[in-house]
Structure 1
């Protein structure tokens, strides 16, 4: 029987709320963060287009188990719409497909934006990651194939006009649900206004439960990164060099605790004895006046750290996913 190889990297766990710069892809960002932290595992909660900047929550280690809860969180975007053009990608990257000399007034924009608040039906852009018959829509679009993408329901909590720097552009802030395409918002508002529209700038500023104060930039991460030991000089034997332990403490200080991702769930502290039972996968009776009796999903903690996610039935917590990094 083949032996499993040892995991590469450190068992660091938690969230890095990365302020992704414009031009960097989400997969590239995850690889960069994983390398900087020398982490065993990393993943992100919600793709952000390369042309967009802003919040890309990146999970390290066991925090990857909580990614679905962050992906379901409310999103806040600040974006600029350019009027007078429709583009193939609904943003600056695409070619112009239609144009108009009309420019909307402030009152017209406010009236149009109000129609998009609430549960709306939205067709994703042709250049999107939606799968059509097993193929990504953007792959089909790049090959020149025009595909019919079914509409989907999304929820817009608010859509506010922030400013109009001139007649050609308008800046908005939108609070929306998972799955909302801001590029589609710009396209559809432009069509409603009879002038066409596309995304000129896009920045994500919140992904619930994380906020702008949680941001960490690439510069901050690189400044906290412990440098690698210098390479051996010619003729120097590696075994003759002293062993150097890299100090990741400054970098790890920028990581947010895994538990922060689960603000949406009831959180119940356990005693040492209860925690031991849960670590073994066993259910425990929750005690205390404030302990919930029923919950489809809840998490339990020990010494302030996340221990497990599970359900509560008749006052009994039943673990479904146990976390080993505390």
Structure 2
């Protein structure tokens, strides 16, 4: 009598539906794509509204290529990346085009990283944090390609969209924070025609706050090292009768800067006012190149404001005597301020 043979189990069919973890991961990748593509789109609109202001330089620098090539890549990113984020099931031609565009952006970001380290190696910049922002852009773009090439799974749509929304929200916070750490802590000092130092709080008795003292000391050091013949001090009213610029002037003179080398801007009540007023001073004194001194978290917004007026400045972070106790508050406030200053030109909400 023959033994009964147990029937073989049928092979398990390939799973085409993603788990919760895979849905979250896919949503994260698509959220990155949505943020990068949406940011590119806003920047392109900004370029149309304010000709000459290249907002895309904040995440990727195409200036070593022709303007036409750069614009083609950015327009493709502005269209294809949000489309991939919303509709990940792509036709063959759309997938090829999206992957090719992402690889092109990755190559440009890699070249930006190389450029940063070349400047660092030549001593043209000093990096408080030796990691360029373009390295984060490069890693983000590298993450996109494998998921784009993979066969899309049937995901848990609500979970994926939740993951996309969370990723975009996190990017809105991390993007300016990374700018502050990577760009803000990089010292671009060089020979210039002037040094601009931005004000900070002055107490009722006329004493400069620690933040203001750090900025003035840094600016004076640049002057005394012979990097520029003029120091422009911009600020607003103090807590008492002593104006911020008066306290700055007094401190600078005590540190060895002659008062004839100092120009005061008493109407620098905020960053935009300082930029507007100092540009007028640049024009009056025929200043072509300027360095700007402030705290690291403030420098990305300052740089952006000057760029919005098609003026190039070189930022120098103030040397901090110690870490400010309210630093988390200042950084968080600056994140909101940076986005506010970024959006206003797109909405046509300010005039210089």
Q: TM-score range by the shorter chain?
A: under 0.3
TM-score, normalisation: structure 1:
0.23
Q: How high is the TM-score relative to the length of structure 2? A: 0.22
Question: Counting strand residues as a fraction of each chain, which structure ranks higher?
Answer: 1
Q: Which has the higher helix share?
A: 2
Task: Return the index of the structure with the highest Cα Rg.
Answer: 2
